[in-house]
Amino acid sequence: MDEFVHSNTEREMEVYGYDSVVKSHCRMCHGGCGVLVYVKDGKIAKIAGDPDCPINHGTLCSKGIAASQLVYHPDRLTYPVRRAESKGSGKWERISWDEALDAIAEKILKYKESFGAESIVMGYGTGRENEAVIYRFANLLGSPNTLTAGHFCYGPRIATTIITCGTNPIVDYENNPKCIITWGNNLVISNPDCYKGEPFSTALDAGAKLIAVDPRLTRIAARADIWLPLRPGTDTALALGMCNVIVQEELYDKEFVENYVHGWNAFVRRVNEYPLKKVEEITWVPKEKIQEAARLFATTKPAAIQWGVAIEQQVNCADNNRALLALMGITGNIDVQGGQMLFSSPKIRNVGQFGAHKMLSKEQAEKRLGGDRFRLAGNFAIINPKCVWDAILEEEPYPVKMLFFISSNPVLTRGNAREVYRALEAVEFMAVAEFFMTPTAELADIVLPAATWLEMDYIGDFWKRHGYILPRRKIVQIGECRSDHEMLNDLAHRVGQGEHWWDTFEGGLDHILEPMGITWKDFEKMDYIRGDVNYRKYKEKGFSTPTGKFELYSTLLEKWGYDPLPQFREPPEGPNSSPEIYKKYPYILITGRRQPGFFHTENRQLPWLRELHKDPVVEIHPETAEKEGIGEGDWVIIESPRGKVRQRARLFAGMDPRIVSAEHAWWFPENKDPGHGWDESNINILTSNAYEDCDPAMGATHVRTLLCKISPR
């Protein structure tokens, strides 16, 4: 294979006249795919998957293939700008990097002195593997407030798995699971977090049984042995119902439960509260199907659960995760070959260590916004966004005066978008680092031109839990664009943090790698490094929890005043919880459906990717469409108690007629007016961010399930 790849690469270079080919590591999404970048006349000419990469084995999605269109897009920001007129006016003036960073540093020092470091909020969104450097800057500054997607995306997985079993259990596709549950996760489209669709598909081709939990008949669900089309927002009830079957029929792993589980008796009492008849009524899934799925998962070894963000953007966020962890644990599929592995990272300085979390004083940490309300989130330095908007608009519990967003577009991606917009208009000073002038960037005072993954050196995937790190190599330089790491390294010196940073950020890369005894210069010559792989480590070391066991009953949640066992809560807006609203808004709206070419708000200006999906699409069952007078391709008004937006109808019979499925993160870069139509199709115009609707421990905003009505435009 290696000889074929080598000769094929050489042949392509000869035929097409490429000057060189560079191995690197894609970051068009949460990604992680190895790539071959072909260069001709100093420009990127082609990007292909790297067959030697152990993560994607040569496969590459449409985003990776189109990455050069991002790099060379004519609308890219290529130099710093300062707002010339009022916010949202679209009037900007070019400034130098020194002017930009000096101005930002001046504001940071001013607000820190006058209002405290907590008045300055750093933020990032999609995660360009910049979280460690952003937290480092904020913690050394003394600000406990870093605004991320972590309250409802991946962060809850990390927070709940750490308190349950010590780290995030990753599906061991390399060793052929015999049964896989996909739960709220369409990985062949989204390639999420630590996963790619290719090894999952390979496992199915090898004969793995498949259970799909999803309200929609996705490509995965269509291939499943068992499809469980649950009512949106009822995941915890379904998982506890499956646990009930496994417990009642004694299908659990008795040796694991007896020796390595904490809280078994209390857990049994809790799952007894979820008999199948009750779970069927809650979830709309026939009890026979629930029983069949539970038996298949419990008796087919090894088995694993492929879970995703859909279950985290709900009021049941933490308990959804904990209930799935319970399924993994009681069936004995934790840290086993082909099951749910607790992989070890290479011996590097991890994100937490590099992020200097221990250097934030206890006094400042106690000022974290929402920390006393959302204790699980606060324990992992995560905050709920509404806490920031309230601190700007109402100055409660103290004023937030400055925002600095890097790779984030919260006007499109956070609940209650109009409140977000008001807060960003009202904040005294805001800086943004971005590829393009987004609806969020247009509200900033200074906008900095960010480098893409093809314009930087970095250690790819060192924040993930699959055990690999890979070198990301700089290919080109575009205009004055700079990586987030270089930019913050420079800014840190200007605000008095210089002793904790480096002359250039290559020193930061060396710092990460130092425990291994290598430097960036050494690592960039390698293909990858993998941590040691050992199975059933708990037999010798136990689990990294307060009890040393797999905690079905969480001692930490109990300490913080929460229910130590998972429980189901009705969605804050639904047929059962709000019957009066349901009369007026008779459909359950689910949001966040993924598209192959887009990564949240990104890539809608890239020709190849927008050609694949021109308009925002709302899926409606044909029976529902006929009832409402809506035809295929019609523009449709979707309305909730909080507002209305429009999307184009697609008739889709693969879901319950009571459900409507819309897309998120839509704006229109081709609309050159200020705001780029941010409120035309933005589904977060419809969502709530009220505290009472959030997960009580994690603060996850409930944006995935609400009520709506639809009508022809």
Of the residues 507, 530, 553, which one is the last residue of a structural domain? 530
Strands laid side by side in the 34-40 sheet = 20-25, 34-40, 43-49
Could you read off the pLDDT of 68-79 as tens digits, one per residue? 999 999 999 999
Amino acid at 417: A
Task: Name the more confident of 463 and 93.
Answer: 93
**Reported confidence tier of residue 3, pLDDT bands at 50, 70, 90:** very low
Instruction: Tell whether the model's pLDDT for residue 4 goes beyond 70.
Output: no
Query: Residue 169: how many CA atoms within 13 Å on its side-chain side?
Result: 35
**Reported confidence tier of residue 446, pLDDT bands at 50, 70, 90:** very high
Check residue 316 and give its pLDDT. Answer: 98
If asked whether residues 484 and 448 sit together in one domain, one would say yes
DSSP string across 528-540: -EE----S-THHH
Mean of pLDDT values over 628-643? 98
Residue 495 CA to residue 602 CA, distance in Å, equals: 31
Question: In which domain, by residue range, is 101 found?
Answer: 81-154+349-455+480-530
Which H or E run includes 124?
Answer: strand 120-124
Q: Are 135 and 492 in contact (CB under 8 A)?
A: no
If asked whether residues 95 and 209 sit together in one domain, one would say no
Neighbours of 411 (CB within 10 A): 26
Residue 706 CA to residue 266 CA, distance in Å, equals: 32
**Residue 231, domain CATH:** 3.40.228.10
Check residue 88 and give its pLDDT. Answer: 67
Could you read off the pLDDT of 375-424 as tens digits, one per residue? 999 999 999 999 999 999 999 999 999 999 999 999 999 999 999 999 99
- Which residue, chain included where needed, has tokens 């601190």? 391
In a domain, 635, yes or no: yes
**Residue 106, domain CATH:** 3.40.50.740
Instruction: Tell whether the model's pLDDT for residue 67 goes beyond 80.
Output: yes
Could you read off the pLDDT of 214-253 as tens digits, one per residue? 999 999 999 999 999 999 999 999 999 999 999 999 999 9
**Reported confidence tier of residue 694, pLDDT bands at 50, 70, 90:** very high
Structure token digits, residue 47? 């990007």
In a domain, 696, yes or no: yes
If asked whether residues 409 and 445 sit together in one domain, one would say yes
If asked whether residues 255 and 393 sit together in one domain, one would say no
Check residue 1 and give its pLDDT. Answer: 34
At a CB cut-off of 8 Å and minimum separation 6, what does 505 contact? 483, 485, 486, 489
Contacts of residues 226-231 at CB distance under 8 Å and 24 or more positions apart, as own/partner, are: 226/289, 226/292, 226/293, 226/296, 228/283, 228/285, 228/289, 228/290, 228/293, 229/284, 229/285, 229/655, 229/656, 230/283, 230/284, 230/285, 231/282, 231/283, 231/284, 231/285, 231/588, 231/656
Tally of domains in the chain: 3
If asked whether residues 331 and 372 sit together in one domain, one would say no
Check residue 594 and give its pLDDT. Answer: 86
In a domain, 50, yes or no: no
If asked whether residues 323 and 424 sit together in one domain, one would say no
pTM to 2 decimal places: 0.96
Q: Are 257 and 327 in contact (CB under 8 A)?
A: no
Mean of pLDDT values over 12-34? 87
In a domain, 571, yes or no: no
Instruction: Tell whether the model's pLDDT for residue 121 goes beyond 50.
Output: yes
If asked whether residues 138 and 174 sit together in one domain, one would say no
If asked whether residues 432 and 313 sit together in one domain, one would say no
Of the residues 342, 365, 388, which one is the last residue of a structural domain? 342
Structure token digits, residue 119? 């008045």
In a domain, 565, yes or no: no
**Reported confidence tier of residue 651, pLDDT bands at 50, 70, 90:** very high
**Residue 591, domain CATH:** 2.40.40.20
If asked whether residues 507 and 609 sit together in one domain, one would say no
Structure token digits, residue 232? 């949106």
In a domain, 687, yes or no: yes
Mean of pLDDT values over 167-175? 95
Could you read off the pLDDT of 276-332 as tens digits, one per residue? 999 999 999 999 999 999 999 999 999 999 998 999 999 999 999 999 999 999 999
In a domain, 549, yes or no: no
Mean of pLDDT values over 500-519? 98
Residue 70 CA to residue 95 CA, distance in Å, equals: 23
Instruction: Tell whether the model's pLDDT for residue 7 goes beyond 60.
Output: no
Check residue 32 and give its pLDDT. Answer: 84
If asked whether residues 266 and 379 sit together in one domain, one would say no
Instruction: Tell whether the model's pLDDT for residue 119 goes beyond 50.
Output: yes
Of the residues 322, 342, 362, which one is the last residue of a structural domain? 342
Check residue 689 and give its pLDDT. Answer: 98
Could you read off the pLDDT of 545-586 as tens digits, one per residue? 999 999 999 999 999 999 999 999 999 999 999 999 999 999
If asked whether residues 242 and 120 sit together in one domain, one would say no
In a domain, 546, yes or no: no
If asked whether residues 310 and 334 sit together in one domain, one would say yes
Share of the chain above pLDDT 70, in %: 99
- Which residue, chain included where needed, has tokens 């084995």? 57
